[in-house]
Structure 1
């Protein structure tokens, strides 16, 4: 049977890879930061070194089926809880809930007491600390084999890479169990930087790393103004995805046409057209397809609400409804018309996550992240997210990155020394204590 799907009304687009989890590569692209133990590094005593846990990432985690199911279900629930918050603003929306969940899961590894509970409730972390992090590791390892032999949208090979990294203030005492958890389950080493004295250099290193991991699609993730004198840690996750459709659209069939926006006005855009064999479903107020990528391991789920019902349909959308739509699909030949599109999306998630129940984690002096530093008062300063997506006849390219910025108002402030009035000075042999020279500067202009 030939079904027709025409995306002239605003489509709601979900990537199953983003909702259910992304394939993870534990081998990031070329890293501009020296490797642990590199020349000049001694326990991370200078910026540019990497302080890694002495525990290697577990490559084959043993995670029970019920824990795997709980992780995927929880991530999906958070994905659509977050969408309910973001959909209120008009216009395009695109984000990677998996990137956000991963970065915040690493942060959660240092949370205690009410902060731990509030984050778990908001993020739908339905497993305890001892189970959640191995489950994330399992999901990464499980998906690591996806796309073998498949093609990317650019003619090169399929890519779906997820990498994590930490950026910590030099001299700040991070707890060893925290670093071990992130090393064992997320493959994340601690890059030593100096947010306090060299914030621009620190930001450049972070943003350069993110750009490298996303093939240049995510630039300037962390703005300089996001770094304050209290900043002691930035936790980053970066995702890059490039995949060809199983059945590409013919470029010669693409023609300009009208797309009806949510406000009823038209806009002229390039519309792709093809008769594609793929899973299809139609139900009360919607049509939906799952457009498979090369290799048949990932799909883009597209849901088209009935014209004029976008807001009501979105309001009813949750993980269970998405599962129901996907479960209702069966193979059909679908006459498909859809627009080419490409755009970027960025946002601070601080206000959104506070509204969703995580306010305590952002409150200095109240947040409990003593798992990061037992003697300090760490708190989340901001959660920054950027995403890019491009869809054309060949396939999809998408990238996203998340930065969780952690501050500590109890961290010692730098001493201030302004030698602008008379002072004394001594030249001293440190080993023996011998004073070799003694002087006073009363007028540095005198000669």
Structure 2
């Protein structure tokens, strides 16, 4: 749902399909960093470490091998020893680390091997899943999960995939067999061996090449994939039809929904996509279709956020939440609000992630609901960070890396809030006197 639905009715919105600015492209390049990491050839797995070994001890043991990028240390499935994943900066460091294999560490003889063919690419897991949930899912099959890596959502909040490193190629292959196409909360999981050497076509190529069409206002109980194919194939070759389905289990309806009210159709060329726009407002199963060329949602979202941050208008139904890391998804934020504030998911109009300011904007159906959300979340601990709620202005004034603090009201001895003027000396610019302190504590 677009954020403009949270704006007052009658507010007009103009959209001009502009290319992304040079500034945004430069930001992407800067975010990528100067050093290209090749994990598939620069990572080792260390087995049979003593049970008392932690990150610092492992780092000390391998620090003379080269530049270490990252270390993960975990108990084995049998919990009788530790296993570590060490990522070095380049392959030469790995060769040095291999010389430590069969070294005696305490009472244990460790082994060091290159970690190869052990990384899984996972997608289509439930949107509210985080790294911990994925680790629990893959750890149920007697395997050793070394690490779970999620992508940054900074430039596209809809990215949903992960890389899961297992301790061996056998474990990875076994999990592909057992988990690929399995159902997790009605979502069909996709689990494949990661193949960095195989160049794959971008999944959003149809969108970028203007070959993708968005069809809205579908009857959710009548319109099927076959109907859409029959209607749209007359304009050109269709590569794919994506029909999101409703995974909401809260509905009391016994009739299965065939779609969520919209679909994406990818043509083989842009001219076919343009030709099918003639179907706009044509009725299908009694509903007039809305047919448009699909826009790059991430770009449109950023433009909507920019408009809100720049607006001077007060919006009591929108709150800001901060700080959030760039791997927290909208689904995770939504679940947190629903659980902590005790409201219905439908009370939340939409959520926008604003990673430039390490936060999010949440639009509620009305101001009282927004206030309820703010009271429930203010001071809540999420991912080892205390999060706070505020206005749009609070988030706009926040800079990345800033420590979130709140002005807490000081309490007097009678447990009432002490007015600010009571805390000031009787004569500004001078030190507080005994009378000032007496007045402050006795409330005189």
Give me the TM-score of the superposition, normalised by structure 2: 0.18
The structure number with the bigger radius of gyration is: 2
Q: Which one has more relative contact order, counting CA pairs under 8 Å at least 6 apart? A: 1
Greater share of strand: 1
Normalising by structure 1, report the TM-score: 0.18
